[in-house]
Amino acid sequence: MNKIKQFFRNKWVGLASAVLLYTLWFVVWTGNLWMLLGLPIIYDLYISKIFYRYIWRHNERFCQQSKLYKTIYEWVNAIVFATVVASLVHLYIFQMYVIPTSSMEKSLLVGDYLYVSKVTYGPQMPNTPISFPFVHHTMPFSQTKKSFCEAVKWPYHRLKGLKKIERNDVVVFNFPAGDSVLLENQAANYYDVLRSYEETFGVTAREELAKQYTVITRPVDKRENYIKRCVAIPNDSLEIRDGKVIVNGIPQEPIAGLQYMYIVQTSSPISQYAIEKLGVTEYSGNGSVYYMYLTDEAAAELERLNNVTSVRRYIYAPNNDVFPHWQTPRWSQDNYGPIWIPKKGVTIALTPENLPLYRRIIETYEGHTLQEQDDAILIDGNPATEYTFAMDYYWMMGDNRHNSADSRFWGFVPEDHVVGKASFVWLSLDANKRFPANIRWSRIFQKVK
């Protein structure tokens, strides 16, 4: 046993282990050869100790001479170490995410705290590496002060993951339409507000919007985090018919907890006890007509109540709220498509009919200029009759189908927006109850399906 301890205490064994771990993690996995410059530092730490002899030994002497200095040093050292370790874990391994809205009910509940794996699809390197640690895009105790510096910008780069995104995975991603934000009204989608201004002001809509709001832009990694279910992957063809998702001609496999809005008519008001027993958390009504968000099972159970005369699923009529916001409504939240999901390297013919579907990809996500002149399409100033996609794209939808802002409203999710896979619930709190009754014990460590 002593020989084994002595073996691992050997400085050359320690050096070999540190070099191997560092090389595999920071050089091979990241693919960044500049990280090889860290190897001399590791060698000095274990063998030559030049830094210690000429600099660090003075720190030890100060610690011996002053208790105050030693205390301050120990606290600073602990904070720096914890920050570095936590930042590496957050960047490469996982991050925590809390469900803020009901768009995924009943699959995920408001107040669920999730473990989001970045290793599964591969960690995405930050676009803005200089930022305040442990915050997303805004400094603590501020609504407007950004927490990142754009002096240094890195292009999109994702490390190798364990697998690719599969259909029905629950995915956390950066909000694709979050590139522009109204600073004084960040809860609103900038493009939704802009469209309403265009109806009123026409070509001067952007100028009028800028008069009332401060419009800022955010890099991909600093946009709001969303969580949805991936219902279609690159090269899929998707349709929605009467609220049912169909991919490549095959209906989506059943998902536990999927819910829609139902119109419920009654002969007398439904008791609060009955509503809570059915697990209904979102509804409105006047005692004779209710609008309730229900699973199919809850709808069938509700229909059995004596005072319920009818339960009918709501179906949206064609409207221009859905992507790509046709001027003349063609699709709706419940009847949508067919639409093809772009795949990296695939070339399609560009036509005036399909251009609205892929315009934002070409201009915003892949950085080209696009114009239409005399029935011709110009990309970067050159006539184009076809286009080859540079990234993979995905179609994301919430399980609460009639109360979810998802791809039906703002389109495709580019691969460079993907953060990670929702793995399991590590804590769940009900905001409507007080501690300890607010802890949903049955959901703790429940796998996300």
Return the structure tokens found at 272.
């609060």
pLDDT at 1: 63
CA 181/CA 176 separation, integer angstroms: 12
Sign of CA dihedral 263, 264, 267, 270: negative
pLDDT of residue 432: 84
Residue owning tokens 């027993």: 277
Give me 325's structure tokens: 């916001």
Q: Which range has the worst mean pLDDT, 7-21, 112-126, 220-234, 395-409?
A: 7-21
Mean pLDDT of 215-229: 94
Name the CA radius of gyration of the chain, rounded: 27
Mean pLDDT across 67-93? 90
Name the pLDDT band for 43 (thresholds 50, 70, 90): confident
Does the structure show a pLDDT above 70 at 162? yes
Q: Which of 221, 219, 212, 171 has the alpha carbon at shortest distance from 188?
A: 212
Q: What value does the mean pLDDT take over residues 376-386?
A: 93
Question: Is 395 in contact with 308 (CB distance < 8 Å)?
Answer: no
pLDDT attached to residue 30: 84
Residue 387 contacts residue 351 (beta carbons within 8 Å): no
- CA-to-CA distance for 260 and 313, rounded, in angstroms? 7
3-state SS string over 38-102?
Answer: HHHHHHHHHHHCHHHHHHHHHHHHHHHHCHHHHHHHHHHHHHHHHHHHHHHHHHHCEEEEECCCC
pTM of the model: 0.90
The yes-or-no verdict on residue 158 having pLDDT over 70 is yes
Q: pLDDT for 223-265, tens place per residue?
A: 999 999 999 999 999 999 999 999 999 999 989 889 999 999 9
Q: Average pLDDT of the chain?
A: 91
Cα separation, 277 vs 284, whole angstroms: 17
Q: Place 34 in a pLDDT band, splitting at 50, 70 and 90.
A: confident
Burial degree of 418 (CB within 10 A; 0-12, 13-18, 19+): buried
Categorize the per-residue pLDDT at 411 as very low, low, confident or very high, splitting at 50, 70 and 90: very high
Confidence of residue 290 (pLDDT cuts 50, 70, 90): very high
Question: pLDDT tens digits, residue range 119-139?
Answer: 999 999 999 999 988 889 898
CA proximity to 266, closest of 304, 296, 294: 304
